[in-house]
Amino acid sequence: DGQQGYTVVDNPNPNQTPATPDPNQPQFADTAPDPFKVFQNMSDFLGKQSQLTMQLSDTSDEIADTGSKIQMSSTRTVYMQRPDQLAVDFVGDNASRRVVYDGKTVTAVDLTHNAYTTIPMQGTLDEMMDKLAKDYGMAQLVDNLLYKDIYKRVLPKLQAGQYVGTDTVGGVKCDHIAFRQEGIDWEMWVQQGDKPMPRKISVTHTDLASHPQYTLEITKWSAAPIPASAFDVKIPKDAQKIDALTMSAEVKKDQ
Q: Which pLDDT score, from 0 to 100, does residue 68 have?
A: 85
pLDDT along the chain (255 residues), means of 10: 51 54 49 94 97 96 87 96 96 92 95 94 94 82 83 96 97 98 97 98 92 95 97 94 82 61
Cβ-based neighbours of 172, under 8 Å, separated by 6 or more: 191, 199
- Domain span at residue 182 reads 3-254
Geometric angle at alpha carbon 151, from 146 and 154, rounded to 5°:
95
Q: Which pLDDT score, from 0 to 100, does residue 142 have?
A: 60
Q: Which pLDDT score, from 0 to 100, does residue 12 have?
A: 63
Pairing of strands 213-222, 115-120: unpaired
Q: Which pLDDT score, from 0 to 100, does residue 43 have?
A: 98
The string of DSSP letters for 12-66 reads: --TTSPPPPP-TTSPP--S-SPPHHHHHHHHHHHHHT-SEEEEEEEEEEEEE-TT
If you ran DSSP here, which 8-state letter would residue 228 be given? G
Task: Mark 112-147 as b/e (b = at least 16 C-beta within 10 Å).
Answer: ebebbbbbebeeebbebbbbbeeebebebebbbbbb
Count: domains in the chain: 1
pTM value is: 0.85
Q: Which of 104, 73, 77 is nearest to 90 (CA)?
A: 77
Q: Is-contact 178 202, C-beta < 8 A?
A: no
Pairing of strands 115-120, 240-241: parallel
Q: Is-contact 98 234, C-beta < 8 A?
A: yes
Q: At 170, which CATH number?
A: 2.50.20.10
